[in-house]
Amino acid sequence: MIRAQHSLQSYNTFGIDARARWFSEIETPDALQALLKQHPDRPLFVLGGGSNLLLTRDLDQWVLHNRISGKSIVREEANNVVVRIGGGENWHETVLWSLQQGYGGLENLSLIPGTAGAAPIQNIGAYGVELSEVFERLEAIDLQTGERLEFTAEEAAFGYRDSLFKRALKGKIFITHIHLKLTRQKHACNTSYGALKNTLEEWGIHAPAPADISRAVIHIRQSKLPDPAELGNSGSFFKNPVIDKVQFESLRQQYPQVPGYPMSDAQVKVPAGWLIEQAGWKGKRVGSVGTYPKQALVLVNYGGAKGEAVWALARQIMADVKQQFSIDLQPEVNVL
Ligand code: EPU
């Protein structure tokens, strides 16, 4: 079914009221192929959970909302299992399901908003783990030809919040299923992230199971990130910039407290939240938009904001950070 002039307000976690010229929910790969055949020339836009999207205008396109469901086991090995997840499945419910099955690998990625199909596009990551570490392959449909395609982890060319699907294939494919390789036993628990380690220590957990890590991650996220159901937001609005070591050292001369994570011998990742806070933007509100008081990297809609207002705030923050630190912030969310 194709709906016209459909409001997208409940389909983006910023809660922006923009409209789609046409809108369809896609429940199976076959249904998508049939629709593409019937209407070959319409400009398309693929929408997952809308959790990484800022709409600054109505979409003069045909919005395809991924509702493909299903969680199944493809293959079991001695220590591993490969699961196949429908692209429209809610990400956090997928994580909880995997833990209920006793599988490890997704626990650090608990409570990330969005869908399974969107997860590979920006290679979601949190608390020391990125999707690329468990990703095996994905199934997709070419939006131009209607053909079924597959991509391996290698072909996906994952990077920090980056992949082939965000670059050369942007807007060109519809991800129908993802395949993830999880552990059945001998779980490789990652507690390297400071806040995670501290929380587990406070709870007196010394040999955490995946479910413990998930609980700790949920606790940390709830204590510093706003729930999109209560306050419109899109998680981290910017990527953490990677700068060269020389620039980092001179920054440290001026700001001895600056946090930095070495990426290589020559490069250091600096938390954008720290830069934004230093630039004086933490917790500031401008009309119906602002930065979240507990995490400056998260821009929020206090209610009724237009996408343009969020984008104007983002640009102001980028200009101030550039002026103070000579560092360019790049949006992590997809700004339309
Ligand atoms: N910081 C501040 N002020 C702030 C926020 C952060 O000074 O207002 C500094 C602190 O020094 C803190 C450091 O920044 O120690 C790092 O902060 P945090 O642990 O909150 O992580 P982040 O770098 O801001 C990244 C991801 C998050 C992810 C967390 C945990 C990016 C762009 N963001 O945030 O991902 O949950 O690490 O792994 O990489 C998302 O992508 O939407 C997202 C929420």
For residue 291, the ligand 1 atom closest to its alpha carbon is 8
pLDDT 10s digits, 111-153: 999 999 999 999 999 999 999 999 999 999 999 999 999 999 9
Q: Are strands 125-126 and 232-236 parallel, antiparallel or unpaired?
A: unpaired
259 lines ligand 1 (CB under 6 A): yes
Give percent above pLDDT 90 in the chain: 99
Per-residue pLDDT, 138: 98
Angle 194-202/210-224 helices, nearest 10 degrees?
A: 110
Q: Calculate mean pLDDT across residues 259-281.
A: 97
pLDDT 10s digits, 188-210: 999 999 999 999 999 999 999 99
Per-residue pLDDT, 249: 97
332 is catalytic: yes
Fill in the amino acid letter for 181.
K
Mean pLDDT, the chain, whole residue set: 97
Ligand 1 centroid to Cα of residue 260, in Å, is 12
Which residue has the least CA distance to atom 9 on ligand 1?
Answer: 274
137 is catalytic: no
215 is catalytic: no
Structure tokens at 160: 């920090």
271 lines ligand 1 (CB under 6 A): yes
pLDDT 10s digits, 153-182: 999 999 999 999 999 999 999 999 999 999
Under DSSP, the state recorded for 107 is G
Per-residue pLDDT, 192: 95
Ligand 1 centroid to Cα of residue 329, in Å, is 14
> Confidence band (pLDDT; 50, 70, 90) for 302?
very high
Strand blocks (E) in 257-307: 261-262, 267-269, 285-286, 289-292, 295-301
Q: Report the distance separating Cα 122 and Cα 53, nearest Å.
A: 12
84 within 8 A of 160, measured Cβ to Cβ: no
Per-residue pLDDT, 93: 98
Element at 59 (helix H, strand E): strand 59-66
Domains along the chain? Answer: 3-66 (3.30.43.10), 71-183 (3.30.465.10), 232-335 (3.90.78.10)
Using alpha carbons, list the distances in angstroms from residue 75 to 9, 149, 182, 329: 39, 20, 11, 42
126 lines ligand 1 (CB under 6 A): yes
